[in-house]
Amino acid sequence: MATEGNNLSNYDKNKLPDASDFRIGIVVSEWNDEITEGLYNGAYNALVENKVQPKRIVRWNVPGSFELVYGCKKMQESFDMLDAIIAIGSVIEGETKHFDFVCQGVSQGIKDLNVNNEIPVIFCVLTDQNMQQAIDRSGGKHGNKGTEAAIAAIKMAKLRQDARY
């Protein structure tokens, strides 16, 4: 596993751009909510720690990870003043091919949103083999992938801002 031996929450705060004027959207899957809430908390706390004002963080919930694509698309359309969007979900492998279809659809859908629209969407969807791996990556021994997604959102928001000038 790529996260083996790594804490996803480690980053150098001094290398990040000023995020105090950014507005960030977060779309959260309700499926596997014990995992997605941990990811959301990691993302939210990292954004606030890096000076994104809480009132400038918009959260929407969707039923499952597959619905993240639609939720992010609607958020892009509704909030043209957003600087980045984080898509938070958790898909845990089962005994059927459903896992493969959901993971493929979500990853391709978020890729399409990034290619076809101006507001970057950060992929924070855990695709784990079991619940323990998801726990370890959503605030457990490997830190929090939500924190990593928030840092990526700040960096991409800055890139978007710089590209406009």
Q: Which domain holds residue 145?
A: 19-163
Which tens digits make up the pLDDT trace of 79-88? Answer: 878 999 999 9
1 pLDDT more than 50: no
Which tens digits make up the pLDDT trace of 97-107? Answer: 787 788 899 99
Q: For residue 98, give the amino acid letter.
A: H
76's CB contacts (< 8 A; 6+ apart) are 82, 85, 113, 117, 118, 119, 121
- The reply to whether 2 falls in a domain is no
- The reply to whether 3 falls in a domain is no
Q: Which of 51, 74, 98, 111 is catalytic?
A: 98
CATH number of the domain that residue 137 is part of = 3.40.50.960
Mean pLDDT of the chain: 92
Known catalytic membership, residue 142? no
Considering its fold, how many domains does the chain have in total?
1
End-to-end CA distance of the chain: 39
CA-CA distance, 110 to 113, in Å (whole number)? 5
Which tens digits make up the pLDDT trace of 4-49? Answer: 556 657 888 888 999 999 999 999 999 999 999 999 999 999 999 9
- The reply to whether 25 falls in a domain is yes
- The reply to whether 13 falls in a domain is no
CA-CA distance, 102 to 120, in Å (whole number)? 21
Predicted local distance difference test score (pLDDT) of residue 8: 55
